[in-house]
Each structure stands twice: as C-alpha cells, then as structure tokens.
Amino acid sequence: MAQRILTFSIFRYNPATPEIKPRMQDFQLDETPNMTVFIALNRLREEQDPSLMFDFVCRAAICGSCAMLINGRPQLACKTLTAELPETITLMPLPVFKLVGDLSVDTGTWFRQMCETTEAWIHTDVKFNPKAEEERMDNAIALDIYEAERCIECGCCIASCATANFRDDFLGAAGLNRVARFLIDPRDQRSPAQVFEVVGTDEGVFGCIGLMACDDLCPMEIPLQTQLALVRRKMMAAALRCQCQK
C-alpha cells in the first residue's frame, strides 16, 4: 500500500488568547504502520506545533481521557487507527463538556457532579469490622456489578446524547448506568424508592428519549440499552408504589 499523507483538520482555541477566535487548522503528516490518533497528535505536537492541547493518559483505552469527535463521531483517540479513516481527518473536542483548550475538555468536573447527584457510593449502616471475615457474595452478582462498574467515564455516550446536549442537568447513559450499578449491589441499602427521588425526574431517567445513540458508541461495550431499561423498570415500579401509598 502506498504511504498516505494525512490531513488533520483540528479545532483550535486557547482561552489565554480570547482575541483569536476558535478556528480549524490543517496539518499534514505521513502515515506510519499501526498509527493511532494518539501517535499522530503527539507527533504533531513534537514536530509541528508544541502548543497543541489534548489529553491522553493510559494510551490503552482504559482511562477514558481521550474521547473526541473524530470525523464527527465520539470515540477514544488512543485506540483509533488512522488506517480505518479517510485521508482527511477532522478532530473536534467533545460537545456538552466545558472546553479547556483545543481538543481538551473537562470531563472530570461533569463526572464528579454526576457522582455527587446520584450519591454514587455504597450507603450502609453496617460498620466495618477489621477483625471479621469479609461478607460473602455470589460470584454471579459480583460479575454483574463489575459489568456496570466498567464505565471509564469517557463521555462518549454523553456527547452523542440528544437530551444531554440541550439539558445540562441530564444524567445521561453513564449516569443511569452508575445508578444501576448501585441498585444491583446488595451492600447498598438504599431502596429503589430512595433512588427514585434522585433519578425519577426529567434530569434522570425520564429525560431519556430512547434513541439509543449512546448504546453502540460506548468503547467499553457496556450494554447501555439493558442498563437504562433496568433503571426505568425499577423506577416505574417505585413510582407506582409511591402512587399507591398516596
């Protein structure tokens, strides 16, 4: 295969120089075997423009730092092979999240807020006893919790979600998946009704319009459709119970 010269068309904006308006800038780079967008961006920074801002940490598709719009689609840049892309590659920062500069966005603040809203930690009255054996758990349940816990908070599902794009308080698929993670954990003593108070609203589960843009974009292949359905089912049940009690 003849070696390609790739054109990267990259969104640029530095908050330190607000007088320079956001713009697209083109860079040329020769493609090498097994090149990823991670490799390409680092080469661009080292060889052409050292001011270029972007975020990578693990470069192994496990930390969730590097999601961006690659030719319009939210995905992890570190595991995207250039060979799978056309010669012209457009890179944009993820929408919804606050822009830090160029391709870098602040997903951390968004996810911490989501965790605070959903109180994403184990709620229990049990005290930890350092001398006791651990409480037992069925391995199947452990694996189910693990499945939901695999979310790497990359934000791809949020960026692609119509609701999240116009409601900045919507929990999104990642948020609802987080709720599901604690709903199925026997160590968490919250009842579905308590959870319902948090998510049984438009910001929560009922804001979802179910188009499933999120589902096939999750790089961890978390079955978001199933998780959303689970939360919705439990919430409906909790809502009915509340109605009956009134």
Partner 1 sequence: MKWQDTHITEVLVIGAGLAGERVAVEAASHGHECTILSLVPPRRSHSTAAQGGMQASLGNVAMGYGDNPDVHFEDTVKGSDWGCEQDVARLFVNLAPIAVRQLSYWGVPWTRVVPGKKVLPDGREIEDLPEKEGLIAQRAFGGTAKWRTCYAADGTGHVLQYSMDSMVIKLGVTVHDRMEAVALIHDGEHCYGAVARCLRTGTFRAYLAKATVIATGGYGRIYGTSTNAVINEGTGMAIALDTGVVPLGNMEAVQFHPTGIVPTNILVTEGCRGDGGYLLDKNLHRFMPDYEPVKKELASRDVVSRRMMYHIRQGYGVESPYGPHLWLDIRHLGTEHLYTNLREVCTICGNFLGIDPAKDLIPVVPTQHYSMGGVRTNIDGDAYGLKGLFAAGESACWDLHGFNRLGGNSLAETLVMGMVVGARVADYVKEAVMDFPPTLVSDAVKKQEERVKQLMTAKGTENVYALRKQMEETLLNKVGIFRNEADLKEAVATLSDLYARSQHLKLRSNGLGPNPEVAAALRLPGMLRLALCIATGALNRQESRGSHYREDFPKRDDANWLKRTLAYWRPGADMPDLQYEDITINELPPGDRGYGEATGVTQVGD
Closest approach, Cβ 99 to ligand FES, in A, equals: 18
Helix (H, G, I), strand (E, B) or coil at 152: coil
C-alpha pair distances (Å), 229 with each of 180, 203, 243? 10, 16, 21
Lay out the site mask for ligand SF4 across 122-151 (x = CB under 6 A, - = otherwise): -----------------------------x
Which of 203, 195, 96 shows the shortest CA–CA distance to 154? 96
What residues from 62 to 121 belong to the interface with partner 1 (CB under 8 A)? Answer: 62-65, 79, 100-101, 106-108, 111-112, 115-116, 119-121
Lay out the site mask for ligand SF4 across 165-184 (x = CB under 6 A, - = otherwise): -------xxx--x-------
Contact 140, 207 (CB under 8 A): no
Give 132's DSSP letter: S
Please spell the DSSP secondary structure of 162-227, one letter per residue. HHHHH-TT--HHHHHHHHHHHHT-TT----HHHHHHHHSSTTTGGG-----TTGGG-TT---HHHH
Q: Give the span between the Cα atoms of 205 and 215, in whole angstroms.
A: 15
Lay out the site mask for ligand FES across 33-72 (x = CB under 6 A, - = otherwise): -----------------------xxxx-xxxxxx------
The only residue of 30, 73, 146, 202 in contact with partner 1, by rule CB under 8 A: 146
Residue placing its CB nearer to partner 1 in the complex, 10 or 208: 10
Name the residue type at position 37.
Answer: V
Token pair, residue 206, equals 């009922």
Residue placing its CB nearer to partner 1 in the complex, 29 or 152: 152
User: Residues near 197 by Cβ (< 8 Å), separated by ≥ 6?
Assistant: none
Binding site for partner 1 (CB under 8 A): 14-17, 33-34, 36, 45-46, 49-53, 55-65, 79, 100-101, 106-108, 111-112, 115-116, 119-122, 124, 126, 128, 130, 132-139, 142-143, 145-146, 149-150, 152-153, 185, 187-188
Q: Which residues bind ligand SF4 (CB under 6 A)?
A: 151-157, 160-164, 172-174, 177, 208-214, 217-220, 222, 224
Point out which residues bind ligand FES (CB under 6 A): 56-59, 61-66, 76, 78
